[in-house]
Amino acid sequence: MNIDKNKILEQICSMSLIDLVELIDAIEKKFNINTNDYKFKSSENNSIKEKEEKSEFDLYLNSVGSNKIAVIKIIRSFLNLGLKDAKDLVESSPVLIKDKIDKKNLDILKKSLEDAGAVVDVK
């Protein structure tokens, strides 16, 4: 008996939904397969990937560096702080600058601070 995969696929495509469900059940029973196990593992793998791909980050200022005024200006403009508040924040390093910041803004702020000579940490 010569069975062509394309012929099988054509037959499956012409089946009704009810017949298709019955065929799947029969295949599961014949080969002792439980597709629910595979679905669970697949969704488990997806949740692991989601945990790996963080969308929010915390940015910490570890040290100001040599250009304190530039760092204060960057912090002030990004966080919409007054001069005194920005200065106090920068001088209290190491300190959390911004929590739950998205990746795009994180990259912009981190690069700006590092260009100004500050040492920052992302968690």
Per-residue pLDDT of 4-21, as tens digits, reads: 888 888 888 888 888 888
Give the C-alpha distances (Å, rounded to integers) separating 27 from 21, 34, 35, 90, 101: 10, 10, 10, 66, 49
Per-residue pLDDT of 98-122, as tens digits, reads: 888 888 888 888 998 999 999 998 8
Per-residue pLDDT of 38-77, as tens digits, reads: 655 555 566 555 556 778 889 999 998 888 899 999 999 8
Cα separation, 28 vs 8, whole angstroms:
17
Residue 19's pLDDT is what?
85
**Class of domain 56-122 (CATH, top level):** alpha beta
Q: Is the pTM of this model over 0.75?
A: no
Contact 38, 83 (CB under 8 A): no
Residue 33's pLDDT is what?
81
Delimit the domains of the chain by residue range: 5-52, 56-122
**Residue 56: count of CB within 10 angstroms of its CB:** 10
Residue 6's pLDDT is what?
87
Q: Give 96's strand partners.
A: 60
Residue 60's pLDDT is what?
92
Whether residue 1 is predicted with pLDDT greater than 60 in this model: the reply is no
- Sheet with 56-63: strands ordered across: 95-102, 56-63, 119-122
Q: Which tokens in the block code for residue 117?
A: 């000579």
Going by pLDDT thresholds of 50, 70 and 90, the confidence category of residue 34 is: confident
